[in-house]
Amino acid sequence: MPHNILVKDAEKYGGKYVATRSFKDKKVISSGSDPATVFEEAKKKGARDPVVFYVPEKDTVHIYSCQ
């Protein structure tokens, strides 16, 4: 089964939001601590519909609850 890696060099971006041009193009074009700013930077760099997501720090566990 192939691995679904969202971003290359994830350890470089741990604890930040990153933007890529798409889910297929995994090159990071913008990163930072504010997702709105990361999105706007990606748009300025020519991404029509950038994908923004959070990269957790290495060895960090996130638990989400839906109530």
Whole-model pTM: value is: 0.78
pLDDT at residue 60 in the model: 75
Domain count along the chain: 1
**Over residues 15-37, mean pLDDT:** 93
pLDDT at residue 18 in the model: 96
Q: How many helices (H) and strands (E) does the chain have?
A: 1, 3
pLDDT at residue 5 in the model: 67
Task: Indicate if the pLDDT at residue 4 is higher than 80.
Answer: no
Give the residue numbers spanning the domain of 57.
1-67
